[in-house]
Structure 1
Amino acid sequence: MSAPPAPAAEPAEGAAPASWEAFKTAGNDFYKASKFESAVDSYTQAVECADIGEADKATIICNRAQCRLMLKDYEKAVEDANLVLAVQADNVKALFRRASALEALGKKEDALADFREVRRLQPAVTAAAAGIRRIESELKGGAGFVEAAKGGPRRKITKEEMMQLQELEERVRSVAQQLQVAKDRKQGAASGKRRLELTAEEMSRIPEGTKTYEAVGKMFVMTPLDEVKAHLADKVSAQEKRLKNFEASIEYLEKASKEADSNWMEMVNTIRKA
């Protein structure tokens, strides 16, 4: 491997600004660390770069919508999802995120329409199915009312019952959002692992005795080839562990999501039968 380029110097005054890719990467890193406000800032800087394409801009704005959901900034989440859907009408992530935000804002019918569209485009999205059941059940009872029994009279929901329903509904949304974060992180870890594996494959073709360098911060340090390979193997192993941890988290959250949805439906049915 030939000698690496010199370490990058600090940007000089008047230097070109960072690329949108750099801002996106920073945003992704903040998102993975659950620093959602910082992620929003980085994603915003990315989409404001003049050289970014429409498709990449839509992807980043969709990521920003998820961050705003996690921050419970539902109005802004809807705005971001709208921007994405204006250019990518079938973007399932944007539809689901808008549906979640609309439901949190109390715009049930609009949220229901989005959840149904998600199910039409991707029937396997179980969280959308849960959203449909949840909202249809609420709308069936009418604003502030539930059916006492099928075909029977209606009665007002008590204040205590309404508070319990709202708490359960918030739990459903919270778990769904945590599940989405875990899935996003798993996808990122899988991509990182694949990049490391490809690098390891390239390194395996380098003849023994070749001078190799390894990045240390902003510098490159000459490192024996065997050590570079060993370090890569360690990184691949670490990514595999991260993947397993994310898979375990996803399994747990999927169970928690089903439980939260079941608890909500049980509460609704209890009220109806009262």
Structure 2
Amino acid sequence: MGEGNPLARDEPDVKTIAVIPTYNEAENLPRLTEALYALSLPGLEILVVDDNSPDGTGQVADQLAERWPGRFHVIHRPGKGGLGTAYVTGFKRALELGAHYIVQMDADFSHSPATIPRFLEAIRDADVVVGSRYVPQGKLDERWGTGRLLLSRWGNFYAKLILGVKVHDATAGFKLWRRETLLGIQLDRIRSNGYIFQVEMTYVTEKLGYRILEIPIYFEDRRIGQSKMTLGVKLEAAWRTWEVWWRHRHLTPAARAPVPPLPAHTRAGQ
């Protein structure tokens, strides 16, 4: 996989969809949308999965969909359903819409839209590209305190120790997926529904033998709104790592799901 595949940043017929879960991101979402479309990637679309945000993010998303018909999509969920199910729901819809590539990113500018063209170059040689904070030249916002930094690094060390994953940033949330990779993973086998979702996706991807390429990013702390990552969330992720290991410990590349061809009517612009 990889050789002979179209490069999304150069080909208008190649569709790239950015899947963005939201909860109380009404201030960030319009700015993020402008930043994404300023990249001038011909086949770029946005898919927001909103969990009935009290601040009206869902209504803001609907207004953006009216402004960008056919390029901005919205899924409204009845309540706060968790990060994992938001991404799985968004990934499935992006695949239905005919995406060749799917961006996974936060709405709060922790993940810089300007990095996406680099992802699209790097995906030539990989099945998923990971924006990594912990490879050489990767950086974290200087505003992170020592305690928060140590907790993040410990979480990655812990996941690598229990699961044996090779990636440096097992909890990374900024990624570019090939359509074939997400279909091969078979998203229904992903059960985690918190920040442990990132770890489960990483573990399953490695167990199935897909090529993971990490590239360095600068991870910026959010400037608007409140973080959803609490100490309790991180502690829950620690013990759920064992569940992930038990559930998928016997996976091999032979367990990849078959990948159907992309229907012609779902190509970009159609």
User: Which TM-score applies when normalising by structure 2?
Assistant: 0.26
Structure (1 or 2) with the greater helix fraction: 1
Structure (1 or 2) with the greater strand fraction: 2
Q: Which has the higher contact order (CA 8 A, sep 6+)?
A: 2
User: Which TM-score applies when normalising by structure 1?
Assistant: 0.26
Which structure: larger Rg? 1
